[in-house]
């Protein structure tokens, strides 16, 4: 089953709109990442889709004003955590070390993880080999010390999201090509296949996926699904996306 993961970022503005989006997307191949304030309402009302947090902190509790605890998220019925999204790395200065601590905390709390990796435009302009070296370094740092044996029963998926392909609000960027992203997905699987890494992670592609191009990204066998931001918030687009993959 190929996965459709929807990252709503800091949208929509009201719980009513959030529930309307989640009821449209309530299928068992969907993972929803709503803003934290809507988690409880969405978990209560979704029957088939799984729900995740867009971010979390590495401590379970304590004097950390404003943070989101993985243990609290789990107790609400949340199943997934999105970790290392490029917007968090860019705007909130999340380092690979912080990403690594977040992954460990999410697994320890019983959450599955989608780890986002992706190279900036300046790296991709130097060619595919430079992009691969960048991704390998991110994977090795982000997953440092994580052994599959310690986290049995948890799922790890990698979202390959080239930063230059991610849309910014209304500004849509050109997506990667399905061929290049499938090659990168294969490379990620090869990089993570030897022990001690968690075995056989699924690899998703993210970056300006929409109703027009989704079929092409879901076709290659190396790509196990897509992570969609902007297009998952537009109802007409969402309906088409869901009908493409039904």
List the catalytic residues.
85, 161
To ligand PEP, the closest distance from the beta carbon of 175 in angstroms equals 8
Identify which of residues 134 and 217 has a Cβ nearer to ligand PEP in the complex: 217
Q: Which sign does the torsion angle of CA 177, 183, 186, 190 carry? A: negative
Question: Which residues make Cβ contacts (< 8 Å) with residue 138, sequence separation at least 6?
Answer: 84, 96, 117
Q: Based on the shown chain and the rule CB under 6 A, indicate whether residue 206 belongs to the binding site for ligand PEP.
A: yes
Residue 211 token pair: 């109703």
Using the minimum distance from each CB to ligand PEP, give the nearer residue, 187 or 205: 205
CA-closest candidate to residue 182, choices 215, 224, 229: 224
| Residue 208 in the binding site for ligand PEP (CB under 6 A) | yes
In sequence order, the β-bridge partners of residue 45 are none
Report the residue number, 110 or 178, with the smaller CB distance to ligand PEP: 178
DSSP summary character for residue 234: S
Give the total of residues touching ligand PEP (CB under 6 A).
14
* CB-closest chain residue to ligand PEP: 229
Closer residue to ligand PEP (CB): 151 or 210: 210
53 strand-pairing partners: 81
52 is a site residue for ligand PEP (CB under 6 A): no
Strand partners for 4 = 30, 226
Q: Binding string, 226-245, against ligand PEP, x = CB under 6 A?
A: -xxxxx--------------
Q: Which stretch binds ligand PEP (CB under 6 A): 38-46, 139-147, 183-191, 224-232?
A: 224-232
> Which parts of 32-177 fold into alpha helices (H)?
39-45, 70-76, 86-91, 96-109, 121-124, 128-142
What are the tokens at 150?
């310690």
User: Which residue of 166, 184, 188, 223 would you call a contact of ligand PEP, by CB under 6 A?
Assistant: 166
Contacts (Cβ under 8 Å, ≥6 apart) of 169: 230
Backbone angles phi, psi at 172, to 5 degrees: -90, 135
Work out how close the CB of 237 gets to ligand PEP at its nearest, in angstroms, rounded to a whole number.
10
Rounded distance between C-alpha atoms, residue 10 and residue 246, angstroms: 27
Considering the complex, state which of residue 96 and residue 176 has its C-beta at the smaller distance from ligand PEP: 176
Query: Using CB under 6 A, which of 96, 119, 142, 161 touches ligand PEP?
Result: 161
209 binds ligand PEP (CB under 6 A): yes
Residues that bind ligand PEP (CB under 6 A): 7, 9, 161, 166-167, 206-209, 227-231
């Amino acid at each position: 089953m190929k996965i459709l993961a929807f990252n709503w970022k800091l949208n929509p503005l009201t719980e009513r709109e959030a529930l309307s989006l989640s009821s449209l997307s309530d299928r068992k191949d969907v993972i929803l990442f709503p803003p934290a304030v809507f988690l409880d309402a969405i978990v209560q009302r979704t029957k088939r889709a799984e729900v995740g947090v867009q971010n979390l902190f590495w401590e379970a509790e304590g004097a950390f004003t404003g943070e989101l605890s993985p243990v609290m998220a789990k107790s609400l019925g949340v199943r997934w955590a999105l970790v290392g999204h490029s917007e968090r790395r860019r705007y909130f200065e999340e380092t690979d070390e912080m990403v690594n601590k977040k992954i460990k905390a999410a697994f320890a709390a019983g959450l599955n993880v989608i780890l986002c990796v992706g190279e900036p435009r300046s790296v991709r302009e130097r060619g595919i080999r430079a992009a691969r070296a960048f991704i390998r370094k991110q994977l090795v740092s982000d997953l440092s010390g994580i052994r599959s044996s310690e986290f049995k029963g948890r799922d790890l998926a990698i979202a390959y999201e080239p930063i230059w392909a991610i849309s910014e609000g209304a500004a849509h960027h050109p997506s990667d090509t399905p061929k290049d992203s499938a090659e990168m997905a294969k490379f990620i699987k090869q990089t993570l296949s030897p022990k001690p890494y968690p075995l056989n992670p699924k690899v998703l592609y993210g970056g300006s996926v929409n109703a027009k191009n989704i079929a092409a990204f879901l076709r290659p066998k190396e790509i196990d699904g897509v992570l969609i931001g902007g297009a998952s918030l537009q109802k007409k687009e969402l309906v088409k996306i869901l009908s493409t993959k039904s």
